[in-house]
Amino acid sequence: MQTGILWKVGLLSALPHLASVVAMVAVSRLSDRWKKRSLLLAASLAVAAAGWLLTLLAEGPWLKLAGLCLAQSGMMAVLPVFWTLPSLFLGGAAAAGGIALINSLANIGGIFAPSLIGRFGIAPMVAVMVWGMVMALLTQWFVENRRPRLD
């Protein structure tokens, strides 16, 4: 077992990703059990936003690492829940088109996000996550109050 600084940095760098694996599995199982996908999506975004705020405002490195673990866990736990939503509203070819549109917008976001974060910092990312929470809660309300689809 090595005890060099690079080994320690590697282990510490892996912590947020290990936490996100646990969060993804837990949130996915809860999503399947409770069928409250939008609420779990909003909760995951809240955890991610809280993690980024902790990372932004914390003084010590251990609190910043805890913030990164929360942020990564929340952001990764969103993914499996999010991808169940298009099929709730769209069927057949429309679902395929909706998923393609989401992928296209995500790719465009991947082009602009790094420069925006470099210019404005983490704070706008927290605002986007709060906006995402609001949209997820509205989606949950819509799912619970909609009429059945007449396919």
pLDDT for 86 equals 82
How buried is residue 37: exposed, middle or buried, by Cβ count under 10 Å (0-12/13-18/19+)? Answer: buried
pLDDT for 93 equals 87
CA dist 148 and 151 (Å) reads 9
Average pLDDT over residues 9-36: 93
Residue 45 is inside which H or E element, if any?
helix 37-57
69-103 pLDDT, tens digit each: 999 999 999 999 988 888 877 888 888 888 899 89
Q: In this structure, are residues 144 and 37 in contact, taking their beta carbons and an 8 Å threshold? A: no
